[in-house]
Chain A
Amino acid sequence: MKHIKTLETRNLCQSAKNGGCGECQTSCQSACKTSCGIANQQCENTKKEMK
């Protein structure tokens, strides 16, 4: 019996090698303007990969 289901998440170690292009959205340019969180920013490179 499987007790654990792991959701697919981004490999952060890999992103240390190929990330950091800086093209993604600045978090405060979206809807908040008074708090900070980066979790909802999508990566521009994975977006390109999806197209």
Chain B
Amino acid sequence: MIHRYQLGEYYIVLDTFSSSVHVVDKVAYEMIGMFADHTKEQVLNTMHKTYGKDPELEECYEQIEQLRQEGRLFAADTFEPLADRLKQKNTNVIKALCLHVAHTCNLNCSYCFASQGKYHGDREVMSLDVGKRALDFLIENSAERTNLEVDFFGGEPLMNFDVVQHLVAYARNREKECGKNFRFTLTTNGMLLDDDIIAFANKEMSNVVLSLDGRKEIHDRFRIDYAGKGSWDRIVPKFQKLVNARGNKNYYIRGTFTHANPDFLKDIRQMLDLGFTELSMEPVVCPPDDPSALTEKDLPVIMEQYEQLALLMLERERQGKPFTFYHYMISLKDGPCIYKRISGCGSGTEYMAVTPWGDLYPCHQFVGEEEFRLGDIWHGVTNWATQQKFADCNVYSRPQCKECWAKLYCAGGCAANAYHATGSVQGVYKYGCELFRKRIECAIFLEAAKADLHP
């Protein structure tokens, strides 16, 4: 299976099953388009009509044929028969937990997928005992895995900072005796950041995710406190302070774009103007009847914004002022193996969310949906039937993915998005697929262009 597209000055051909990326000229681009279902004679006859009887054309044909023979163009799918076995390899091992240390929030954002941190339930914070047990549960179920990931999430996790601090200290002690390596992430709205917390986060957190939607008027439209006051002015200086003191450690300024700002490139420019360079901008997740939901009319605007973003990144790369966009990070040479590409995010199997009460859910986006409760941190998974639905998710389990060229970049997509769009974790959120494919096109375009800049 191949995918051809043009972006900027580049003609690009992707080969799905070999994961090959070919940057081609216009002649090769057209020829590859005809190659699979035409004879050599037919292809060359058609090309002669446009380009004349140039011997270069036959040479180009032979280059394509050689790549086909090498398995780097029109490669067959040899992975489908292995899909169940590949996914099975990582079942029954848990390596990552999203710890909901606070089901409460000091902001009242109407677009919040977690219903202002409450997840459609009661407000609560996680006790230290529950948190410790969650870390023990992770260690006990992590088998041979060394790297264990814990995300302090909410609500707003800094509303329970004391517990976060103690849990990190507890994990640091336990990792030594167990031969594990904890990697922590903190996802915060920034309201409670102060010098002590910044110092702690920059020392202990492998990654910090800072919620900022970009332009002040866009951010303050949704991200307001309970008095209705926007939070932009209060959090931006704190984020700048944290990032300036962070050194080379990972962070992301993470924005959400909605129907109010499908022109989100303006927000990315605002983030850059504020001095941030590690950026992420996510499409909002909410019911289709919510006023902030993205519409079909927004789609072409978003697609164009993604392209413009890629071009901006290239321009900044040329100027020696590069920045990172999370969804355009792609590692062609050192990217994920086929196991990961088939298995996906691991929700419900190797990755779970823990509520303040110690309940286990397949991921943070299912918390509060009672039918998805998998068990708890004392008894482990007891809802085997639901877990099996997640264990069965792989790139080959969704018929809609069969003809998609991007499947080995997305691994079948987000189960929560699928569930909310279709009522089934095995469904497909088509709108998200459109955005995903565009992002991969842009990401690979950037790799091609950067290879020319830094040969």
Contact = CB atoms under 8 A, between A and B. Distances in A.
Interface of A: 1-10, 12-13, 15-16, 18-20, 22-44, 46-47, 50
Given A1-B59, A25-B149, 7 more contacts: A2-B63, A7-B22, A20-B90, A29-B183, A29-B185, A34-B416, A38-B409
Contacts of A7: 20-23, 332, 447-448, 451
Contact of B63 (A3, A10, A40, A44): A3
B131 interface: no
Contact of B149 (A2, A29, A31): A29
B146 A23 contact: yes
Interface stretch (B213-221, B264-272, B345-353, B376-384): B345-353
Contacts of B22: 4-7
B410 A33 contact: no
Contacts, number: 220
A15 B327 contact: no
A12 B341 contact: yes
Interface residues of B, number: 90
A4 B414 CA distance: 34
Given A26-B96, A30-B207, A38 B336 contact: yes
B24 A4 contact: yes
A4 B145 contact: no
A42 to B, nearest CB: 5
B357 interface: no
B155 to A, nearest CB: 13
B139 to A, nearest CB: 15
Contacts of B146: 23
Given A26-B346, A36-B345, A10 B149 contact: no
A43 B346 CA distance: 16
A13 B375 CA distance: 37
Given A6-B72, A29-B149, A34-B282, A12 B338 contact: yes
B410 A30 contact: no
Nearest to B208: A31
A50 B334 CA distance: 9
Contact of A38 (B410, B443, B448): B410
B315 interface: no
Contacts of A22: 89-90, 93, 95, 145, 339, 350
B345 to A, nearest CB: 5
Interface stretch (B78-86, B100-108, B160-168, B291-299): B78-86
21 contacts: A1-B59, A6-B67, A7-B332, A8-B332, A9-B20, A10-B334, A12-B337, A12-B408, A13-B78, A16-B79, A19-B337, A26-B345, A28-B364, A31-B254, A36-B411, A36-B414, A36-B417, A37-B409, A38-B340, A39-B409, A41-B331
